[in-house]
């Protein structure tokens, strides 16, 4: 239980930071086209590097504490959030934006009342993926060094040939990932009530 608590803490902090950075990056790249053209390829490039290859470097640079695990989780969760939110922003009908501007709306008001609601479905889709990535990223980083966590525990029981405990950890990670994805889906339903209303009307 203590190892699971460490992994969940790392995953939670890394996911929160990754979501914050992803949303902020999407807002900035949507607002400034030159930044979109400059940084979007770099955002895509971060996903072409295997996390298993990055993890040893992070442990070497930042030590065996929680920081390298959080950095790896941020790298893993940043991309789905950024791409999802940015895609939602750019899916807005230009006529809606022109209408808002003709009524004297500021860019912040357009972002709040038009773009953010349009981006919420894609944001939550990316958040589901990121929630699963967060746990897996934490475990991968813990494999390579640390003092506690499910990855550290798996390494210890593997060396002791306690394969029953290894399978127990694998099952626990799967259950925790499913619970996190379920929690994201619950928040999505609460945050987008218009989707439920639309589906009810279509029936």
Render pLDDT for 50-86 as a digit per residue (tens, 0 to 9). Answer: 777 777 787 778 877 788 888 888 888 888 888 888 8
Question: Would you state the pLDDT for residue 20?
Answer: 93
Give the model's pLDDT for residue 199.
55
Which pLDDT score is estimated for 16? 92
Task: Give residue 202's pLDDT.
Answer: 52
- Where the chain has pLDDT below 50, the residues are none
The CATH code of the domain at 2-196 is: 1.10.3720.10
Instruction: Give CA angle at 132 (183, 122), nearest 5°.
Output: 70
Give residue 49's pLDDT: 75
CA distances in angstroms from 180 to 79, 96, 129, listed in the order given:
18, 34, 10
Give me the pLDDT at residue 203, please. Answer: 54
Domain ranges across the chain: 2-196
pLDDT at residue 32, rounded to an integer: 87
- Pair of tokens at residue 5: 């608590």
Six token digits for residue 10:
């790392």
pTM: 0.81
């Amino acid at each position: 239980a203590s190892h699971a608590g460490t992994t969940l803490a790392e995953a939670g902090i890394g996911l929160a930071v990754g979501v914050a950075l992803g949303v902020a990056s999407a807002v900035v790249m949507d607002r400034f086209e030159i930044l979109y053209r400059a940084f979007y390829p770099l955002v895509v490039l971060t996903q072409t590097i295997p996390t298993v290859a990055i993890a040893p470097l992070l442990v070497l640079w930042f030590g065996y504490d929680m920081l390298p695990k959080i950095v790896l989780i941020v790298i893993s969760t940043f991309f789905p959030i950024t791409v999802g939110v940015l895609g939602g922003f750019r899916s807005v009908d230009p006529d809606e934006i022109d209408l808002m501007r003709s009524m004297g709306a500021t860019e912040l008001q357009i972002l709040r009342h038009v773009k953010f609601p349009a981006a919420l479905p894609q944001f939550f889709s990316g958040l589901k993926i990121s929630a699963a990535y967060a746990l897996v990223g934490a475990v991968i980083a813990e494999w390579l060094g640390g003092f506690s966590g499910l990855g550290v525990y798996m390494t210890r029981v593997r060396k002791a040939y306690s394969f029953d405990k290894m399978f127990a950890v694998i099952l626990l990670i799967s259950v925790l990932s499913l619970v996190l994805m379920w929690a994201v889906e619950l928040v999505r339903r609460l945050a987008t009530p218009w989707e439920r209303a639309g589906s009810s009307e279509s029936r």
